[in-house]
Every structure is written in C-alpha cells, then in structure tokens.
Structure 1
Amino acid sequence: MGNIAISVENLGKCYRIGQAQKRPENFRAAVRSFVTSPFEYLRSRLREPSADELFWALKDVSFDVKHGEVLGVIGRNGAGKSTLLKILSRITEPTTGRAKVYGRVGSLLEVGTGFHPELTGRENIYLNGTILGMKRAEIDKKFDEIVEFSGVEKFLDTPVKRYSSGMYVRLAFAVAAHLEPEILLVDEVLAVGDVEFQKKCLGKMGDVARKGRTVFFVSHNMTAIQSLCHRCIWLNEGGIADEGASGRIVGQYLQAFSTVTREQIWEHPEQAPGDDNIRIHRIAVSAEDDLDHARITVETPIKIQLEFWNFLQNALLSVSLHLFTLENTYVFDSPSPQKQCPTGLMRAACHIPRDLLNDGVYRVEIMILQNTSVRVFFHENLATFEVHDVERAIQWYGKWSGVIRPKLSWTLE
C-alpha cells in the first residue's frame, strides 16, 4: 500500500440491542428464571433479530490516511467516532468491510487506563508505559521528560489514589503522549486538565505531528482540529457526511447545527429573559439601512439594537456587547457610555462599521452593568447572525484567515 497508513473500506459495525429483563416477582419466579435463563439466552441468540433490535454504529465508511498525515474526525455524540477508533485499535471487530493499519499503533482512547490506585506515580509510569508498548530502556530514557511534562514531581512517590483528578490525568497523559508509535490514535484527550495543561497537550500533539508521524485525532474542540489537522472527516449517524480541508468541514459542521436568530421579541416582561432588575424586550441585528432581513455581507454596516425594561430607580447603567464566532472565539467587547436611567423601557444600539468582520456566523452576548462594576443582567446567546462574503471579479473559493478582515489604508510606492 506504499504511502497508506490506514485504509478503511466499506466499514460497518452493527450492535444487537438487548431486551431488558423483568425483575422476578417472588422467590419461585427467581428460581425458575435462574434455571431457564441459559436456554432463553441461546434461544434469543439463535433467533434472527428484527430490524428494531439492530443498531448500526457505523455503516459503509471508507477513507485512506497517508503516512505523516494528521486527520481530524468530528461529529456529534453517537456519530460513530469512538466505535471507529475501537475498530482501528483492534478492540472490537467490524461487522462488515475491513480496516487495515500499516505500522506500529499507539492509542489514547481512555487516559489513565492501566493505572493502579495503590501504586505510586513512579511505579505507574513504568506499569502504564509497559502496557502502552514501551520497553524499560525507553521509559528510563523518557522518565525525566514525562515527570516534567506532568508537573507532579513532588508527589511522584505517593500512591495515585491520593492524587486529585487533575493530577491523575496529567500524569496519565504525560506517559501516553511520550510513546513514539508510527500511528497515533487520539480520542478527546484535550478535554482533560485545566486550561494551561490543555495548551501543553495541544503543543505536544503538534510536536508529534511535526515529526512526521500519522495522527488520527477525534475531538469536539474545533480550534484544535483546525490548528492540528489539514484534513477532516465529518461523521454523522454512522456515515461520512463530508470530508476535505479542515476549515471548510468545521465551518459546515458548525453551521449545520446552529440557528441564525437575528431578532427576538418578548411582549410581556414576565416571559422575558432577566429578573426583577432588568428584562429584555427586543434584540435585533440588521443592516445599518434598516431594511428588514437584508442580507449582511462583509461590506455591510451592521446595527445591533437592544430594548429592555429597567426596574431600577435612577440607576447608572451601561450596556456591554460581547461578540463571539461560532467556534466560540472572542471577537471583541464594546461597552456603551454610562447613563442615569429612569424606570421604564430603554433603548440601546451598537454600530459595527463595514469591512470589519470576516464572513461567518456570530453570537451576541449582552451584559448590563450598574455603576460600571455590578452586573445586573447577563445573557450569553440573545442573537446570532451570519456575515456573507461578496461576489468578486476574481473568484475566491476559500475563507479568509482570521476573525476580522478590516479594510485598512495602504500605500505602495
């Protein structure tokens, strides 16, 4: 197969959904169930299952991964990602098709598998390293690096049952990440630990990729997928929905499960978001010229209008607008001036100039402060809107890099 590291052809995995058994009503029923259960089990296994009893976790999946390629796999929970990894790791067998892996494989499917709670951190490094396929000489060579990466040197000779959950996963990932296979299968390991350690994990994954090893990376972290993987597969309901460049696939995936809501109105305060201090009446995102539902492009000035009921007597209020991308990247925070506000309906508007935002879907978060320090209202998703690219004489088929794409003043002499 030359340059192919992983070859998957018409792969399918079917599970038989079992029927829950009723609890015996009395002792006589329990004895009868105990005696007859082996025969009932054989009868149920020999009987041809109905369609309702079968669940296809994967169906007709085909793709190839080249040596040295970093492939991302995304999809909702239940899409078949973990089942695919278990088949590639030889934990379970496929029902149909075949999956071939060419090279030494290291799997990070469950961080911490192989750790014994009664053993110390030092002992578990050697135990877990052996389970992951490392020789003692390899572990000795990498021991100091593993300990430094984990940050648990002070507690290295303490039984891991006394570790916090964060210390446990740090040490487990440190051992697994320093294995040097030709092919690395990774399942959502960046979800463990604190933010600082997640960055270290991401950096380590990048190092593995830059050394030319093949990485098969499953994650819900879209930023990590886009930064590490050039190509991406989107699994949906057991099949491949699409595959291609990571930026394009991630964008399509996020937009498929997002709802653009440019305007929301609550006619009655008791039904509106808020509390006894503030209630939202209306939020609307529109083109600056105020045409209803006009298409917003990168060249469109945008107006975000907010109307809210204020129940605070003569409060000094300010409104802060936070804008996020669909990938949850913070774009900017824009606060309004403070104003002494009477009780009643208040109106605020934020104006975003043309040629600032890149094309994509954005989420509007609103915070209202009293005296610039006391938060009296907060909502993280009051509105969403999409900014479209414009047609150009020279066709551009990709998305420009970056969250914003401002039109700046240039000279070229």
Structure 2
Amino acid sequence: MKDIILKAENISKQYRLGEVGTGTLSHDLNRWWHKIRGKENPYLKIGEVNDRSKKGTSDYVWALQDINFEVQRGEVLGIIGKNGAGKSTLLKILSKVTAPTTGSIKSRGRIASLLEVGTGFNGEMTGRENIFLNGAILGMTKKEIASKLDEIIEFSGCERYIDTPVKRYSSGMTVRLAFAVAAFLEPEILVVDEVLAVGDAEFQKKAIGKMQDISKGEGRTVLFVSHNMAAVKSLCTKGLVLENGGVVFEGNINDAIDMYFNDSVKNASRKWKKNLAPKTDFLRLVETKVLNGEGEVTYNHSIADDIQIEFTYEILSENQLFTHGFNLFNSHNLHILSSHDKLSSTLKQALKLGVHKKRIIIPKNLLAEGDYSCSFAIMRYAPFHVELHEIDIVGFNVIDEVGDKTVRGDYSGHFPGLIRPNLQWIK
C-alpha cells in the first residue's frame, strides 16, 4: 500500500501582470460580490498560459495550471524545467508561503523549506538565535533544538560567526546555515529550491550527501529543484518536469531528464533551403544524414553496429583551405566526444566549386544506449579559428539490440557511464 505523505490536487496559481499586484480594487470588489452570492471567481476563466517568451493579450497569467502529483514517504522528487516554468511558485505553495488560486495541498508532517537565500532568517539576530527561531517555527521545543545545535553548527561550517548577526553573513554562509537548520531539525518533508548553487563545491557535495542520508537512511521526503542535472540524477528517485506552468512528465528520473532535454534534434536527416542554410563566405551546408551499414537513413542504431554521419556542403568560393570538426552530445547535453579532420586534404589542396560530401564513422561498441545529437564545424589554421559551428543539426538513438537479442545478456539494469566500449580482458 502506498504511503503518500504529500498530495497536490488541481493546483493553479494566477497572477496579474503589471505594476498592480494581484488585482485592482474593482476586481477585488467583483470577486467579493461573486463570493457572497456563492458564485465562482469570475477571473478564473481568463488569463493565458505562462510563456515568458511571448507577449500576450491578457493582464492575467497562470503561473501554474492544474498541477496534480503524489509523493511517497522517503521519496526524493526532482522538480525540473526551464526558467519561468513555475518550479519556485510550486514550492512556495507546497511550503505554504503563498496560497494557490485553486486546488489544495494535503501533507502529513512538518515541512521545512529552503527557498531563497535567507528565507526565514532575521538579519538582526545571530546565527545561533536564528537556529532557535527556525526550530520554533517548525514546532520544536527549545530542548529539542538544543540537542541538535552542535551538529547544525558543525555541518554549516560557520562556527566562528555563529554569534554574529546574520546580516553580516555572505550569501554562501547564509545558505550553509539555513540548510543545516532545515536538514537537522528533522522535518518530515524537506523542500529545497536551487539555492544550493550559491554554496561552494565542497558544501554542495555535503548537502547532497545529507539529503541522501535523510531520504534513504531516515525515510524522510525531499523535494529538490535544481538546474544541475548531475545533482538531480544522483539524488532523485522520481522526476516532475514543468513547462509553461503545467506538468509535461512525471515518472522515472532518467526519463524526466531526457524529457527536459527534449529540445535536442530527433531527426536522422536534415536538408536546408539555400536561403536558410548555415554558411560562411565560402561554404554552405546542404544536407546531413545519419546512415546505417547499408547506407540507409536510420534514427535507431544497434550498439553493435557502426554509425555513419554524412555531411553535404557546397563550396562557394575558390582557393579555400580548411578542415572539418564534429562534436557529439548525449541527451543530457553532455559533450561526449570531438573529432577534428586534421589530415584532411582540404588543408593542403582547395576543393573545386560545387557540392562535396564528407562522412565520418562512429565505431560499434563505443557509445552507451540513448539519444545523441551532432554538430558540424568548419575551421581554418594559421591561426586556428572557427568559421562555422552548427549544433543540433541531426540526431540518432543507440539501442542495445542485435537482431532479436541484446548485448547485455541477462543483465537487466541500466549500464552506468557515458560510453560502453567492448574492451579486451587479458589474463
């Protein structure tokens, strides 16, 4: 049976744009009049989706709209999405910092929040006093807080400044102390917005380790927002992807991260019109293809087969000496490999005007399973400089499949690592 500790039902949040906050006096009176007559808020029927890149026609915008999800006890939920997707707004509603326009939050246990640098701290009070203040807000007794005091101070690394007013702390020190307080005062649910990015690398590592201990060792729940996908992947067990104020995916964290990076090219071929093609003053890209061993355009490729990437371009000007470059990225936007055609004949002998092709071969048993995107570059030497670099022009997928069998055999888990070469093991 599921042990649900947090449940969001039909959560929506509406804001009014411009200098006025939530609305005008006439709008507030209109809401009040509808309320006493037992009718719905009239402004719930207006407003636009929260797309920050486009200018809308309405003064109202839905920062969140119809958000539904459940979190089980001991689960670590990673909430990811682009800037403006609604992540911070959702965490503020879950933490009861602000109320939803519609919907409800049901939770079991105390919620400790780390939303922004210094949230919940009084700048005039010392670090020690703020520990007791935050503990009291969480409903803990002075004796309970005192029993954890030494651990909090040690973890934060702020012992020398613990009796100094927090207003004199740096942002990094404030986050250190705030996280230590939130983590050690044993809330059932810990909510962490991307403030950990303010801390240094050593503290981020400590904080992620502590959150792992909280969830796995102590069975408490963590909601974590970050743009650091490596941290999200190592810490979270489940993912929630937000886009323009709505949920576009909920499920396994690896699938959620793949969804987050879903802007990558999903086509095995691409052909440009002349007026839209990437170009330099002497070269224009015409077409790019991903081919299998039979020369067929294919998106899915077996891990045990070579993969060919073919670039077609047109030389527009004579007597040009240059070389080619290729970069490969995985679905998490990590740069897997680069290849420069340093031995190319184009460095020594200029190509004639007209259309030319260049093909590279990615050897079998090299790449791990997953989606990949390719970039193409043109460089000159003496001195070295890049004339053209076009990213995400074509993509492909590597699958663990050879006929009706898999290379992995009986192993059913996901292989770690960015590549999967078939290395020789010698006695």
Counting only pairs closer than 5 Å after superposition, residues 12-161 of structure 1 correspond to structure 2 as 12-15=11-14, 17=16, 41-43=28-30, 45-47=32-34, 48-49=41-42, 51-53=45-47, 55=62, 57-59=64-66, 61-66=68-73, 68-77=74-83, 79-94=85-100, 98-113=104-119, 125-126=127-128, 129-130=131-132, 132-133=134-135, 137=146, 142-143=152-153, 145-147=155-157
State whether structure 2 residue 367 is matched by structure 1 residue 357.
Answer: yes
The aligned counterpart of 1:7 is 6
The aligned counterpart of 2:235 is 228
Distance 1:326 1:158 in 2: 45
Matched to 1:221, the amino acid is N
Alignment length (residue pairs): 379
| Selected match of 1:172 from 171, 174, 179 | 174
Distance 2:245 2:89 in 1: 9
Matched to 1:172, the amino acid is T
3-state SS, counterpart of residue 71 of structure 1: strand
Matched to 2:179, the amino acid is A
3-state SS, counterpart of residue 299 of structure 1: coil
State which drifts further: 54-63 or 377-386.
Answer: 54-63
Matched to 1:42, the amino acid is L
Counting only pairs closer than 5 Å after superposition, residues 299-318 of structure 1 correspond to structure 2 as 299-306=304-311, 307=313, 309=315, 313=319, 315=321, 317-318=322-323
3-state SS, counterpart of residue 59 of structure 1: strand
The aligned counterpart of 1:26 is none
Distance 1:309 1:129 in 2: 68
Distance 1:253 1:384 in 2: 18
| Selected match of 1:298 from 274, 294, 303 | 303
Matched to 2:278, the amino acid is P
Tell whether the 8 Å contact from 1:190 to 1:202 is kept in structure 2 after alignment: no
Question: Are the structure 2 counterparts of residues 249 and 114 from structure 1 closer, same or farther at C-alpha, using a change threshold of 3 Å?
Answer: closer
The aligned counterpart of 1:385 is 395
Tell whether the 8 Å contact from 1:79 to 1:235 is kept in structure 2 after alignment: yes
Distance 2:215 2:64 in 1: 29
Distance 2:129 2:318 in 1: 63
Tell whether the 8 Å contact from 1:286 to 1:296 is kept in structure 2 after alignment: no
Root-mean-square deviation (CA), in Å?
A: 4.2
Provide the identity percentage.
31
Tell whether the 8 Å contact from 2:153 to 2:180 is kept in structure 1 after alignment: no
Counting only pairs closer than 5 Å after superposition, residues 185-264 of structure 1 correspond to structure 2 as 185-192=191-198, 202-203=208-209, 205-206=211-212, 208-209=214-215, 211-212=217-218, 213-235=220-242, 240-255=247-262, 257-264=263-270
Distance 1:201 1:367 in 2: 40
Question: Are the structure 2 counterparts of residues 202 and 259 from structure 1 closer, same or farther at C-alpha, using a change threshold of 3 Å?
Answer: same
Q: TM-score scaled to structure 2, two decimals?
A: 0.70
| Selected match of 2:350 from 339, 342, 346 | 342
Matched to 2:46, the amino acid is D
Tell whether the 8 Å contact from 2:265 to 2:394 is kept in structure 1 after alignment: yes
Q: TM-score scaled to structure 1, two decimals?
A: 0.72
Q: What's the CA shift for 1:343?
A: 5.9
Q: What's the CA shift for 1:233?
A: 3.1
